[in-house]
Amino acid sequence: MNKVIVIAVLVGVAITVSAFLLLSNDASSTPESILTYDAGFTYYDIEKIQNNLEERNISVSTPVAITDHTIDYYCTYFEKGLPRSVDYCTTTVVLDDEGDTLGNINIGGTAESPVLAIANIETSSLESNPDEVFVVFETMIETLVCDCWEEEKSVDYPTISTWIEGVQTFYVDSNKRDIKSKIDDLAGHEILLEITTKDDSILQTLIILK
């Protein structure tokens, strides 16, 4: 039976929650993950995200390519603790049903194929726009990774929303220290959820890596 195991580690002022997806039917050791450009989601999948979110009264703007030095701001990811850049990055704006900005969805890699997708949602508190946050993150995972979370579910996190709620609860219980939760090898992808305290807001970031 496939299962998710959650491990909480306190390091200094940062709390990391790591969730590892273990496939019990694989007798061999799992090889080190390598980012894959020629498989998985594409830049065109932003259209699916736009359509799915529009049904939930959330709008996503037309992608704009980032070609200047700010590309690292929009599409940087970390590998073995080190920041990595991409050659090509697009960004979109996410708006709620009242036209207020919720954040951005950024997709980057090479000009031919992406390797990562990032959703940044910044709100005044966790109680602000909670439904929209769940919908955006859930849509990102189901569209770009798979609609298979419940097949790989654990007792603790049977749905995507319960995982997000669990990370948020851990954030609150840790006196709002910055935290990170990682799901390894869900349909060959790595998924991270980070919650960061800003001066007067909270930034929730979902990162999907091939």
65: left (phi over 0), alpha (psi -120 to 50) or beta: beta
210: pLDDT strictly greater than 60: yes
Burial of 62 (0-12, 13-18, 19+ CB in 10 A): exposed
122: pLDDT strictly greater than 90: yes
Mean pLDDT across 14-42: 47
- How much is the pLDDT for 9? 32
132: pLDDT strictly greater than 70: yes
17: pLDDT strictly greater than 70: no
Percent of the chain with pLDDT strictly greater than 90: 69
Tens digit of each residue's pLDDT (9 = 90 or more) over 48-93: 999 999 999 999 999 999 988 899 999 988 777 788 889 999 999 9
Entry pTM: 0.82
- Only one residue has tokens 């769940």, namely 134
- How much is the pLDDT for 2? 36
Query: SS3 helix, strand, coil % of the chain, rounded to 5?
Result: 25, 40, 40
CA torsion sign for 3, 10, 134, 192 is negative
Spatial distance between the Cα atoms of 172 and 111, rounded to a whole number of angstroms:
39
pLDDT band at 130 (very low <50, low <70, confident <90, very high): very high
**H/E stretch holding 200:** none
Mean pLDDT across 187-207: 95
